[in-house]
Structure 1
Amino acid sequence: MGHNRRRRPTGARRATFGAVALILGGGGLVAVNVFASATESGNAAVPLGSSGVAATVDCPDLTERLTAVPEQARPEVDTELAHLDEQIAAAYRGLQDAARTADDGTLDEGAILDPLRKERAATIERIAAALDKVADRPEGLDTLAECSLRRTEIASADAESGSPNPQEQEQGQGQGQGQGQEQGDKDEEPPGDGQQPPGNGGQAGNGPVAADYAAIESVQPNVKKAARQAKASTGSFETSCGVNAEGLFNSDNLIAAPGVSNGAHHFHDYVGNQANDAFASDEDLAAGDTTCADQGDKSSYYWPVLRLQNGTAEQDAQSPGGGIEGNAGEIVTPAEVTLTFEGNERGKVTEMPRLLRIITGDAKAFVNGDTNANASWSCTGFEDRQLKDKYPLCPSGSDVVRTFTFQSCWDGRNIDSANHRTHMAFAAADGSCPEGFRAVPRLVQRVVYDVAAPSLEDGGRTVPLFAVDSFPEQLHKPVTDHSDFINVFDEDLMRELVECINSGRACGPDTPPGSEPGDGEEQPGGDGGGQIAEPPAEQTATASAPAAPGQNEKPNEEPNEGRTGGEKPAPPAQDRGAAASASAEPRAATTPAAGTPDDVSGATAAAETSGTTGTTGNTGNTGNTGNTDNTDNTGTTGNGGDGAGTAPAPQAQGGLAETGSGLGLWPAAVGGVLFAGGCVLLIRSRRHAR
């Protein structure tokens, strides 16, 4: 019988084998983790996956440095800022196209970003040259040409199943499951071209996603009634201007991008003034028709349209601002629009100046961060619960509600400012305004929609997803919601409005003269007394949103009411087909107007990403009037797209695992430990062998 001549491993050899195994295993973990983090660390390969785009274009906010643009330079600067928006939109469309054709699931980052950087550099140089003609150019503008691709979440297992994750459950904003109600003729099957597989992010493939929705019943009540002082102005004035049954839409923005077609890159609903497009002058607005019941109110009220992602091809399906830029699906006519002007918790209000312009919310909050986000989402019967960064899933019989509470402190001089923010400020919780500002009537817009909760488990195939229009790279996130107002009240009617509020009366088209605003019994879903409950700074953002510190600059210019938009071309076709534009008459409110939350907790939309956040991506256009020395404005500035200004320092948004700074790097950490341990063991075993 033969002998086994194989040598048994000695202790030193076993140690050597173990050391080699540790080194190989640890090195492998490090390599895999580094590869998986390539996008977040700026490498060229961006994993996209088979479900669509997993990144968005993130560019620095140029208007952060352009808060004091001389009036002579503003028209040219406005135009160039609009070009920056166009470039970002085009780059995002290129990203989508590249993602659809990426066979191996990766993308050449440079192919998207290098041409964008060159275009932005040339545009920024033209802006600097325009400023050079009348003032010193701000330093460092040329450094703002660089952009990045920011990874985003397409869908998650929790989101698609409708199950709340532990963090959302703890914070009261759990992910709700789709209700699956029947939609009748609205429940169309999306086109069979692969546009809307589950979790792909809406009909156009760039949002919304299941994680953008939350069941309203899982949200804890978070609206508190603001306390009134003895001298508070407790009245209210309601103006009735319809629901845009006339079908006036365009993708312009007269405030943020005057004189620029498609300056918003998304469609707006308009009520009130019917002459509003990018080329409307003040004279055009004054002479325009109005949908308001009181013809003395020719003000313009407008906000992004809400769409059903149901495959319907609207009249803008192949147009800029519409389908070309990812804003696809059936435009929903609101069931009800309520426009209410309210008083101040501390004292009397003064008249708004004619042609005052106000933007509330941030059209680019998904990229910029939520500092200026200021829209609330809720459901009828549940308006004591407000969401900012989620669309609500409403139970059967309840309608979707979006609420905008506008800034109500005016600098007393300017009807607009270079960033469309610094001439206005939010009041503190007690109604006090920043130094140099005075209280004016507070506009609260409440827009109600009769739409069913979408079926998240199948990506909206059974019951379609709904979402607001947005800049393409903002992915239809609810946090980007915003609204705009231009005051074109007749001076006598504005005087009546202020008198009504200051005398404590409730006035409006359906209110008998002499009515007193009630402090009566609270109704379900409301906050009682018809009052809008507010957190500090009047904002419907999270509790961490600043109240508007720093907006105490001394205005030094008189209001300019002579703005003109240049020669006005023939307006684009704006009428929808009969089926798409069927009107919905205003219905009686089932609940009082909902207020703003004192503390809206929960994961933010930005927390759904794994990239960086902060003050990037904003290229909103400046106006043509107002303050030229508003540089100390850190509280309520930084809006993207629809008029932005300076923003505070970037804030981290998302957990460590989401940003790649914590748990997301654990494989590399473990691998490093194993590798080091293997090396130590190998050295010791070799010494022992000697």
Structure 2
Amino acid sequence: MGRNIRKRRSPLAVRAIAASAALAIGGGGLVWANFYASAHEENSSTGTTKAATAQVATITCPDVGQRLTDVPSRARGEVDGELATLDQQITSAYQRLATTRDAQTRDANFVQNAILGPLKNNRSVIIDRIKLEISRVGGKAPSSLDGLSSCQGTPADQTNAGQDNGGQGGGGSADPAPSASAGDGGQQNGGGQQGGGQQAGNGGQAGNGPVAADFVDITKVRPNVPRKARTRSGGSTGVFTSSCGVNANKKYNTDNIIVAPGVTNGAHHTHDYVGNQSNDAFANNDTFAAARTTCANQGDKSSYYWPVVRIQNGKQDFDQNNDGGGKEGNVGIIQQARQAQIKFVGNPRSKVVAMPKFLRIITGDAKTTTNGLANANAHWSCTGFESKVQLTEQYPICPRGSSVVRTFAFQSCWDGVNTDSANHRTHVAFADARGNCSGGFKAIPQLTMRLVYDLPAPTVQNGQIKNAYAVDGFPEQLHKAATDHDDFVNVFDEGLMNKVVNCINRGQRCK
């Protein structure tokens, strides 16, 4: 994979105002504008409140990238560029939506005629380009692409942000627990959406969350962690640990080399990086292989990266005026994990085979507010509760003396051929509840990560959350807990990877 200096077609402004939109990688996104503020301003009349409530708050666009499961490798670079342009178009439409509230009040057809109609036309052009790029190299684009140009506008009181739009699907059988929702005591009035206006000014979020309903006292949640699959004869029980630090050297950027190679600020939120120290938008396999690593075992030059967590108490960090930071709704002080534990574990049903070098895996979905929970794989808990409660759709409020824990368990079945796929998902899969890899996939060492944070406990007062914490993300995703995700590029030396496999298959504990 060579250095990509591709220029984006049809560059559009990416600076969002008001609630700051972000680009939802893959060509789809839920764009959020905080219209509640105008409905509750001082001296606003009853008529003004009604008009503001009726205005469109979101633009929901189909996620084109997730439909592209079979793009020829020679076309992927250009297709990635076109997907980035689709995202730019959504951002431009959001800006138009956020700055034309008066016009929308005067003209009921304004959003359709001035925003949604032009957006559909612009998307149609780019979708046609995607189809052309695929056919140019002998591929065949999905016929369903023709129906993905239209986006929908939704009034603020009818949005489904924070709700389950897609089921738990792909979050399934990942250890330590499948994706789980809060039990008793977990839900509060507001559902994330109704709290939007109330949160304006909270750490600069201006309605982008989190809100009180996004948090739950973990002591009031019923246990929801199922038993682990029992290891059978022929299974693999070993554990290999790689110690790579907690990003004490503060390596941050807002790129995403997996989803948006060659696109600066392709993630539109800030990542922590440990391991490989050369990961940015323009890295390639040669770059990774030659890089330094923070891992204690120098044979592990893998890149491990995840969205930062911030405390949203009104204070700002170094990136308050930067793309991917404050300009795109990611505000507050970045919190460094106290522990970042990286382990590779086995499979209860079979031995594991070596991961191919430069294998790329994304676990979780940064856009669950748009896409639903089908690919959600977020696990939030507290020390002392991890074996009993794991949350997907809410952040835990931990009791005194307990720390917040984020856990990731990556896909552990590989197709045996590809190091990546067009939608960055179909080359790997989760094992089923008993540990079986289906469809001819092979069991590989399962990457698990555990991040521990010492955070002040948030408090809920009068329906508002104080000292909230939240994971970085696209602001249109409202900083929901379910949007948490993690990324991995395997850059183990061949000898060390063989050691990992042997260690796991022999039931040993190694590092």
TM-score (norm 1): 0.59
Partner of 2:344 in structure 1? 341
1:587-645 deviation digits (Å, cap 9, x = unpaired): xxxxxxxxxxxxxxxxxxxxxxxxxxxxxxxxxxxxxxxxxxxxxxxxxxxxxxxxxxx
Asked whether 1:139 is paired with 2:143, we answer yes
- Would the alpha carbon gap of residues 250 and 201 (structure 1) be closer, same or farther in structure 2, given more than 3 Å must change? same
How far, CA to CA, are the matches of 1:329 and 1:101 in structure 2?
33
Q: Of 76, 79, 87, which aligns to 2:78?
A: 76
Partner of 2:62 in structure 1? 60
How far, CA to CA, are the matches of 1:354 and 1:378 in structure 2?
32
The structural deviation recorded for 1:468 is 0.9
> What secondary structure does 1:123 align onto?
helix
- Would the alpha carbon gap of residues 312 and 105 (structure 1) be closer, same or farther in structure 2, given more than 3 Å must change? farther
Matching of residues 386-401 of structure 1 within 5 Å: 386-401=390-405
Bigger shift: residues 473-482 or 109-118: 109-118
Partner of 2:184 in structure 1? 172
Aligned residues, how many?
434
How far, CA to CA, are the matches of 1:351 and 1:377 in structure 2?
29
Letter of the structure 1 residue corresponding to residue 153 of structure 2: L
> What secondary structure does 1:117 align onto?
helix
Contact 1:265 1:471 in 2 (8 A): yes
Matching of residues 648-667 of structure 1 within 5 Å: none
- Would the alpha carbon gap of residues 288 and 100 (structure 1) be closer, same or farther in structure 2, given more than 3 Å must change? farther
Letter of the structure 2 residue corresponding to residue 294 of structure 1: N
1:367-405 deviation digits (Å, cap 9, x = unpaired): 111011011111111112011011111111111111111
> What secondary structure does 1:145 align onto?
coil
Partner of 1:287 in structure 2? 290
The structural deviation recorded for 1:449 is 1.1
> What secondary structure does 2:461 align onto?
helix
Partner of 2:474 in structure 1? 471
Matching of residues 577-616 of structure 1 within 5 Å: none
Letter of the structure 1 residue corresponding to residue 337 of structure 2: P
Between the aligned residues of both structures, percent identity stands at: 53
- Would the alpha carbon gap of residues 171 and 208 (structure 1) be closer, same or farther in structure 2, given more than 3 Å must change? same
Partner of 2:422 in structure 1? 418
Contact 2:363 2:487 in 1 (8 A): yes
The structural deviation recorded for 1:172 is 2.7
Which of structures 1 and 2 has the bigger CA Rg?
1
The structural deviation recorded for 1:314 is 2.0
Letter of the structure 1 residue corresponding to residue 184 of structure 2: G
Letter of the structure 1 residue corresponding to residue 447 of structure 2: L
Asked whether 1:453 is paired with 2:457, we answer yes
Letter of the structure 1 residue corresponding to residue 123 of structure 2: R
The structural deviation recorded for 1:65 is 3.1
- Would the alpha carbon gap of residues 154 and 466 (structure 1) be closer, same or farther in structure 2, given more than 3 Å must change? farther
> What secondary structure does 1:456 align onto?
strand
Asked whether 1:304 is paired with 2:307, we answer yes
- Would the alpha carbon gap of residues 452 and 91 (structure 1) be closer, same or farther in structure 2, given more than 3 Å must change? farther
Contact 1:265 1:325 in 2 (8 A): yes
Matching of residues 349-368 of structure 1 within 5 Å: 349-368=352-371
Partner of 2:94 in structure 1? 92
1:258-302 deviation digits (Å, cap 9, x = unpaired): 111111111111111110011101000111111111111110011
Matching of residues 607-626 of structure 1 within 5 Å: none
Matching of residues 183-582 of structure 1 within 5 Å: 198-200=198-200, 202=202, 203-205=204-206, 206-223=208-225, 224-383=227-386, 384-457=388-461, 463-508=466-511
- Would the alpha carbon gap of residues 108 and 154 (structure 1) be closer, same or farther in structure 2, given more than 3 Å must change? same
> What secondary structure does 1:80 align onto?
helix
Contact 2:365 2:377 in 1 (8 A): yes
How far, CA to CA, are the matches of 1:240 and 1:90 in structure 2?
42
Contact 1:235 1:500 in 2 (8 A): yes
> What secondary structure does 2:496 align onto?
helix
Partner of 1:678 in structure 2? none
The structural deviation recorded for 1:454 is 1.6
Letter of the structure 1 residue corresponding to residue 241 of structure 2: E
How far, CA to CA, are the matches of 2:188 and 2:402 in structure 1?
15
- Would the alpha carbon gap of residues 231 and 169 (structure 1) be closer, same or farther in structure 2, given more than 3 Å must change? closer
> What secondary structure does 2:500 align onto?
helix
> What secondary structure does 2:476 align onto?
helix
Bigger shift: residues 448-457 or 270-279: 448-457
How far, CA to CA, are the matches of 1:220 and 1:105 in structure 2?
49
> What secondary structure does 2:199 align onto?
coil
- Would the alpha carbon gap of residues 477 and 100 (structure 1) be closer, same or farther in structure 2, given more than 3 Å must change? farther
The structural deviation recorded for 1:63 is 2.4
Contact 1:341 1:444 in 2 (8 A): yes
The one of the two structures with greater contact order (alpha-carbon pairs below 8 A, sep at least 6) is: 1
Contact 1:391 1:478 in 2 (8 A): yes
Contact 2:383 2:402 in 1 (8 A): yes
Contact 1:454 1:460 in 2 (8 A): no
The structural deviation recorded for 1:147 is 0.9
How far, CA to CA, are the matches of 2:404 and 2:102 in structure 1?
33
Bigger shift: residues 252-261 or 225-234: 225-234
Letter of the structure 2 residue corresponding to residue 59 of structure 1: C
Letter of the structure 2 residue corresponding to residue 387 of structure 1: L
Letter of the structure 2 residue corresponding to residue 467 of structure 1: A
The structural deviation recorded for 1:229 is 0.8
Letter of the structure 2 residue corresponding to residue 238 of structure 1: T
Which protein is richer in strand relative to its size? 2
TM-score (norm 2): 0.78
How far, CA to CA, are the matches of 1:497 and 1:99 in structure 2?
58
Contact 1:233 1:348 in 2 (8 A): yes
Question: What do you get for the CA RMSD once the two structures are aligned?
Answer: 3.0
How far, CA to CA, are the matches of 1:504 and 1:100 in structure 2?
66
- Would the alpha carbon gap of residues 220 and 282 (structure 1) be closer, same or farther in structure 2, given more than 3 Å must change? same
The structural deviation recorded for 1:340 is 0.8
Which 5+ residue runs of structure 2 have no aligned equivalent? 1-33, 41-51, 160-179, 190-195
How far, CA to CA, are the matches of 1:207 and 1:91 in structure 2?
21
1:308-359 deviation digits (Å, cap 9, x = unpaired): 1122232222222111111111111111111110000012111111100011
How far, CA to CA, are the matches of 1:170 and 1:232 in structure 2?
32
The structural deviation recorded for 1:448 is 1.2
How far, CA to CA, are the matches of 2:318 and 2:366 in structure 1?
23
Letter of the structure 2 residue corresponding to residue 380 of structure 1: T
The structural deviation recorded for 1:140 is 4.1
The structural deviation recorded for 1:152 is 5.7
- Would the alpha carbon gap of residues 352 and 101 (structure 1) be closer, same or farther in structure 2, given more than 3 Å must change? same
1:111-158 deviation digits (Å, cap 9, x = unpaired): 442333233222212212212312334324232111113456799xxx
> What secondary structure does 1:283 align onto?
helix
How far, CA to CA, are the matches of 2:143 and 2:284 in structure 1?
33
How far, CA to CA, are the matches of 2:215 and 2:158 in structure 1?
13
Bigger shift: residues 299-308 or 226-235: 226-235
- Would the alpha carbon gap of residues 208 and 198 (structure 1) be closer, same or farther in structure 2, given more than 3 Å must change? same
> What secondary structure does 2:379 align onto?
strand
- Would the alpha carbon gap of residues 79 and 466 (structure 1) be closer, same or farther in structure 2, given more than 3 Å must change? same
Contact 1:99 1:107 in 2 (8 A): no
The structural deviation recorded for 1:447 is 0.9
Letter of the structure 2 residue corresponding to residue 174 of structure 1: G
- Would the alpha carbon gap of residues 290 and 227 (structure 1) be closer, same or farther in structure 2, given more than 3 Å must change? same
